[in-house]
């Protein structure tokens, strides 16, 4: 029996309701994703941002074209004005989630019912992955060449009577997370300005900073350059000690002069983090804390 954990994508990026449209567009450009689980401070599932949600927000309603064709400059102004708005108003909150142990047909059925191309995978109340419809279809087609798939599927239907549960019906509470626990660190962090051009920004020269402390939600950097609040940074830092750096994006929350003349301290909030990277940081916090 093929399970969700066999096909799910683990290297995903989560966002929060306070993430802005501009930040999301940069995430799409940098990570080549269009569907994003929305999480809270405990990394519990709050909903999903689907590509269709963005299109509804960015494009004018079809009825507007029936009356008067919108001026292209008006549409451009609308696209610019929406960039600093948060995702809270377009989050699809009524979403189905599946567990890693569920059969792939359960995930596929949820996508057909909800008319979406992916559903989030949740374990112990925490988002651990995303499973996509095209991977399920490819797996079914490869298995359907023989009778094994049909036999396994019928057997799984008889043994699993659980209906697909919406997010609001989750019965397992999320474990308490020590997300605001910070520990002191002494490591170098590479950073450079994030760009909507994605790979085209690779030519931008990076800089180095020293991390003062770190948590699962962000870090405090000591650096030579003052950065305006809301500046987006591509970050790279290594907690493992095995030359396996975490490469993700962060937002500057504040940047103030340090006690050391000529330096600044910048509070960084992580915008993008995979479940595996979160576990790596939590492991580091437990060791150092």
Q: pLDDT digits over 94-107, tens only?
A: 889 999 999 999 99
174 within some domain: no
Residue 58 contacts residue 29 (beta carbons within 8 Å)? no
- Give me the pLDDT at residue 243, please: 74
pTM greater than 0.85 (yes/no): no
The residues near 101 (Cβ < 8 Å, ≥ 6 apart) are: 3, 4, 5
> In terms of domains, do 148 and 226 share one?
no
> In terms of domains, do 109 and 233 share one?
no
pLDDT in tens, 200-232: 445 557 899 999 999 888 999 999 989 988 888
Distance separating alpha carbons of residues 88 and 189, to the nearest angstrom? 31
- Joined together, the tokens standing for residue 282 give 């939590």
Q: Which domain holds residue 264?
A: 183-288
* CA–centroid distance for 8 within its chain: 14
> In terms of domains, do 150 and 229 share one?
no
Residue 128 contacts residue 26 (beta carbons within 8 Å)? no
pLDDT in tens, 133-154: 988 888 877 765 544 444 544 4
Total domains present in the chain: 2
- Nearest residue to 87 via CA among 27, 169, 43, 149: 27
Q: What is the mean pLDDT of the chain?
A: 78
> In terms of domains, do 161 and 21 share one?
yes
pLDDT in tens, 46-103: 999 988 887 777 665 544 544 555 555 555 565 566 777 888 888 888 889 999 999 9
Report DSSP state, residue 119. Answer: E
> In terms of domains, do 85 and 187 share one?
no
């Amino acid at each position: 029996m093929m399970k969700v954990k066999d096909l799910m994508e683990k290297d995903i990026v989560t966002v929060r309701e306070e993430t802005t449209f501009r930040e999301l567009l940069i995430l799409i450009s940098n990570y080549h994703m269009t569907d994003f689980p929305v999480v809270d401070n405990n990394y519990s599932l709050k909903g999903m941002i689907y590509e269709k949600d963005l299109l509804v927000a960015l494009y004018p309603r079809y009825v507007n074209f029936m009356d008067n064709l919108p001026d292209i400059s008006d549409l451009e102004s609308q696209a610019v004005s929406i960039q600093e708005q948060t995702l809270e108003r377009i989050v699809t909150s009524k979403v189905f989630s599946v567990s890693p142990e569920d059969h792939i047909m359960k995930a596929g059925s949820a996508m057909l019912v909800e008319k979406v191309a992916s559903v989030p995978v949740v374990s112990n109340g925490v988002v651990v992955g995303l499973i996509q419809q095209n991977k399920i279809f490819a797996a079914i087609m490869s298995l359907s060449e023989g009778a094994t798939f049909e036999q396994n599927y019928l057997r799984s239907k008889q043994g699993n009577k659980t209906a697909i549960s919406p997010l609001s019906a989750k019965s397992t509470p999320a474990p308490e997370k020590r997300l605001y626990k910070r520990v002191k660190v002494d490591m170098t962090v590479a950073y450079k300005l994030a760009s909507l051009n994605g790979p085209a920004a690779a030519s931008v020269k990076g800089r180095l900073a020293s991390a003062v402390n770190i948590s699962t939600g962000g870090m405090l950097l000591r650096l030579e350059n003052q950065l305006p609040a809301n500046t987006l940074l591509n970050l790279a830092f290594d907690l493992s000690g095995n030359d396996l750096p975490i490469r993700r994006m962060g937002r500057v929350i504040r940047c103030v002069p340090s006690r050391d003349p000529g330096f600044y301290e910048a509070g960084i909030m992580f915008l993008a983090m995979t479940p595996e990277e979160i576990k790596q940081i939590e492991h580091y916090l437990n060791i150092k804390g």
